[in-house]
A and B are shown apart, each in its own frame.
Chain A
Amino acid sequence: MSTGKLHAVAGPAAQPDLVARCQKGEKEALGELYRLYRAEVARNLHRMLGPGRGDLEDVLQEVFIEVFRSIGRFRGDAKITTWLYRVCVNVALQRLRKRKRRAEVSSDDVGERAPDIQSAETPERALDNMRRLDAVYRILDELSPKKRVVFILHEIEGREPKEIAGIVGAPVLTVRTRLHYARKEFYARAATDVRLDGGLATKSEVRS
């Protein structure tokens, strides 16, 4: 399945010296780096952590604090976007582990989430989409953080195992194994999850 879009952001072609300026500690350059990548980082975190979890802005700040602190160690071996994505995944992993310990995702999240009515055909469908998305992330909440990350990178972001291996810093074989067990666990849970019942989705929509 390759439903997701690749969201590696374009390199800062307009500012080839941006990373070098950041490494020299120019606050203006750090500001530019933030403004250039904040939307993509927020989008990646949004996918990783799930919509409506309420802590996206905190995690975004954590990512950029870590980016600013570590930019001096960036040696240019990978693209800046790949490196940023790696930081993003590491921070998300930490947050997921913290969530697992605190079970901080409370049951009332559904009520606080605004349905994305604009992109849906009707309010009913928007609500249905919202519930389905919520059910998917609740199942993902039950996976271990490591399995969840590779599952999301592959199934939602559409990344290949080799690329995922570079992001999570694990061998490709390990990524494939994690992905296999994550898929198995995810769909086994989905098959018995009554929250996925009664949707408006049709087979044609799913199989398209």
Chain B
Amino acid sequence: MRHVAPHRLAGSLSARQERHVAGCAQCAASLARVQAARAGLVLAARSEPAELSPAAEARAEASIRWTRIPASPVVRRPFLVGLGLTAAVAAAVIVWNAREPRRAAWASTSPAASAHRPAAPAPRPDRLEALVTLIGGDVQLARGDAPARKLSIDTRLGATDRVTTAGNARAAAQWSEGSGFLLDGDSELFLARLEPRTQRLELSRGQISVRVGPHEPGESLHVITPDHVVSVHGTWFTVASSQHTTTVEVLEGTVEVTDHDGSSSTLLTAPARATFGRGRTAQAPLSGREAARLRAASEMNFLPWTGLDAARAASGSLMVASQPQAELAVDGVFLGATPLQLRRPLGRHYVELTRADFKSLHQWVAVGPEGGELHASMVHAPPQPDPESAPVEIESMVRRRASQIRACYERRLKRDPSLAGTVSLRLRVGDAGQVTRVDVEQSTLPDPLVADCLRHEAAGWSFAQGRNATVVYPFVFRTQ
């Protein structure tokens, strides 16, 4: 191989090179690998993708529905940066689109386009109302010119309502199946439009999480901050606004963030976080842990939805307070710190209250049409070592299964005597202590079969201690 560079071997060999390779084991091995790589390229050319899943088709349909075609494209901008519109046109499109989304597609004035224009304007859609599903802390509602009053769990929110939350407060509301918002503390939200086909939420300050469920064709949702417009392509995301900066975190789907002046537009696809300032953008992917934390923190306590009145009739309010304050989870979903007032479907619900150094409280609570209250006194107690909270006993398991683990490595060591490196496995431990999922977190071993073998080995483990946990464990392999 000293005589011939590997990329030259990809072509045909000269007689001299063939003579050299015939007498050099290392060169022969390299040549075989290069030829294997060439064969791999042939395979790549023949390889076909799997059939698209129905979910992919549905997402494409959603993308088509949410697409706005710029009315008069004049400027070529860098890829994925600009809308290719002048500021004025962009502003017009945004405003026009928000007013009547179905019309945006007919913005062209050409005769061909006018053929598709309806003879009479579409009837103005009905107003939409949102059902409050969660209230924690001091949440104020201002409606019209009336003075602000405390938001109640029975209030129906509608267009032109303004909701303001105090420091540690939060409020959630739902307007259709899987669609609604959670307003965090120290925030102010104006429901500029709340209609079946158009929702426009103006966030003056603070943070809002928004989820959008199944849509009807032509439906649009925009979250407007003082500087940016966040438009939805079917998703779960949060928007935070402060000091001319808008932070958007996308948990599902895709959102589009546009400057108010239309000067730039960015598509964010989950999982992603981006901060938009005036003229600058910082974008970073969300890690799995961050996304999980964000999901947990932005649960909106949604109800099964067949319409507001039906959802209201099939649910009741529940007030949960505790002394001292504790974290509340209902039916396994974390909803925030007490006191919290929430709406749940009629029936029994599992309420959990937890606080560090206090005994956790687990209780079934019946929610009826007349509503209910739960006032709990938390009992101070040092943490109890129990299988639920005990760490997963991975060390002792690795010691017990050392010979099987070593065998995975030694089998491959026979093929490559210099094989050495580290394989980190991520084990998910289920509620009975059994391993429910194994992933290779990282591997520095060139031979992937060692990691495969370890995965199969670890998949059969069951721990006596440790429940519902995820453990990452590095296995270091080296020759003696």
With CB as the reference atom, state the residue of chain B lying closest to A138: B448
Q: Is the CB of A25 within 8 A of B106?
A: yes
Say if the beta carbon of A188 comes within 8 Å of chain B: yes
Q: Is the CB of B38 within 8 A of A1?
A: yes
Instruction: Report the Cα distance A143→B19, complex, angstroms.
Output: 32
From residue 167 to 223 of chain B, which have CB atoms closer than 8 A to chain A?
Answer: 217
Q: Is the CB of B36 within 8 A of A46?
A: no
Number of A interface residues in the complex (CB < 8 A): 83
Flag the segment in B107-115, B121-129, B301-309, B341-349 that touches A: B107-115
Of B47, B106, B415, B442, which is within 8 A of A107 by CB? B442
Q: Is the CB of B45 within 8 A of A157?
A: yes
Q: Is the CB of B59 within 8 A of A61?
A: yes
Q: Is the CB of B69 within 8 A of A57?
A: no
Most chain A beta-carbon contacts within 10 A, residue among B105, B254, B415: B105
Q: Is the CB of A51 within 8 A of B47?
A: yes
**Contact A111:B446 (CB < 8 A) given known A135-B40, A187-B7:** no
From residue 53 to 71 of chain A, which have CB atoms closer than 8 A to chain B?
Answer: 56-58, 60-62, 64-66, 68-71
**Contact A69:B60 (CB < 8 A) given known A108-B439, A139-B37, A195-B448:** no
Say if the beta carbon of A141 comes within 8 Å of chain B: no
From residue 442 to 480 of chain B, which have CB atoms closer than 8 A to chain A?
Answer: 442-443, 446-448, 451-452, 455
- The minimal Cβ–Cβ distance linking B394 to chain A, given in whole angstroms, is 19
Q: Is the CB of A1 within 8 A of B41?
A: yes
Q: Is the CB of A24 within 8 A of B108?
A: yes
Q: Is the CB of A57 within 8 A of B41?
A: no
Flag the segment in B50-58, B133-141, B273-281, B396-404 that touches A: B50-58
Say if the beta carbon of A81 comes within 8 Å of chain B: no
Between A and B, 24 residue pairs with Cβ closer than 8 Å are: A24-B113, A25-B105, A38-B52, A43-B48, A43-B49, A60-B60, A61-B254, A62-B269, A66-B79, A68-B63, A69-B83, A69-B267, A90-B80, A98-B285, A107-B443, A107-B448, A132-B40, A136-B37, A190-B34, A191-B31, A191-B33, A195-B447, A195-B448, A201-B36
Say if the beta carbon of A79 comes within 8 Å of chain B: no
Interface residues on B, range: 35 or more
Q: Is the CB of A192 within 8 A of B30?
A: yes
- The minimal Cβ–Cβ distance linking B419 to chain A, given in whole angstroms, is 8
Say if the beta carbon of B43 comes within 8 Å of chain A: yes
Of A68, A187, A190, which is within 8 A of B67 by CB? A68
The dominant DSSP class at the A interface is helix
Q: Which B residues contact A (CB, under 8 angstroms)?
A: 1, 5-7, 9-10, 12, 29-50, 52-53, 55-56, 59-61, 63-65, 67-71, 73, 76, 79-80, 83-84, 104-108, 110, 112-113, 116, 217, 233, 254, 267, 269, 285, 415-416, 423, 439-443, 446-448, 451-452, 455
Instruction: Report the Cα distance A86→B348, complex, angstroms.
Output: 56
Say if the beta carbon of A27 comes within 8 Å of chain B: yes
Encoded as 1 (CB less than 8 Å from any B CB) or 0, chain A from 150 to 189 comes to 0010011110000000000000000000000001101110
Encoded as 1 (CB less than 8 Å from any B CB) or 0, chain A from 120 to 153 comes to 0000000001001111110100000000000010
Instruction: Report the Cα distance A60→B60, complex, angstroms.
Output: 9
Q: Is the CB of B48 within 8 A of A24?
A: no
From residue 14 to 45 of chain A, which have CB atoms closer than 8 A to chain B?
Answer: 20-27, 30-31, 34, 38, 42-43, 45
